[in-house]
């Protein structure tokens, strides 16, 4: 966990886009899997907290497809391919912004 917090703190000064960094935090904490229960919830809270601190809306999944989300996470952990997870998160943030502002895509 100390390494995770050091990684999280280093992300604050990173040149990587905040949405991608939030995804990386989610993946990192899930990879550690430090708790007997609630790892997914805690990981999503870490992601949401980072997004809020960077000025983004909280990542609340609209009509979440748990299977798709789980497959994205599994792919990240098994092949290091983060693209599908990034796409999933960005699409949901776009939905949040559109719903809050009333703007059309």
DSSP line for 80-97: ---HHHHHHHHHHHHHHH
Burial 15-52 (b: 16+ CB within 10 A, else e): eeebbbbbbbbbbbbbeeeeeeeeebeebbebbbebbe
Q: Find the helix or strand (DSSP H, E) in which 9 lies.
A: helix 2-11
Where in the sequence numbering do the catalytic residues fall? 33
Residue with tokens 């990879």: 31
């Amino acid at each position: 966990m100390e390494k995770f917090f050091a990684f999280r703190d280093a992300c604050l000064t990173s040149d990587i886009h905040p949405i991608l960094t939030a995804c990386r935090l989610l993946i990192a904490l899930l990879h550690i899997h430090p708790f007997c229960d609630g790892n997914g919830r805690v990981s999503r809270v870490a992601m949401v907290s980072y997004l809020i601190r960077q000025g983004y809306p909280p990542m609340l999944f609209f009509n979440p497809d748990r299977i798709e989300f789980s497959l994205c996470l599994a792919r990240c952990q098994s092949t290091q391919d983060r693209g599908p997870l990034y796409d999933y998160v960005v699409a949901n943030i776009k939905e949040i912004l559109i719903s809050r502002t009333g703007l059309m895509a």
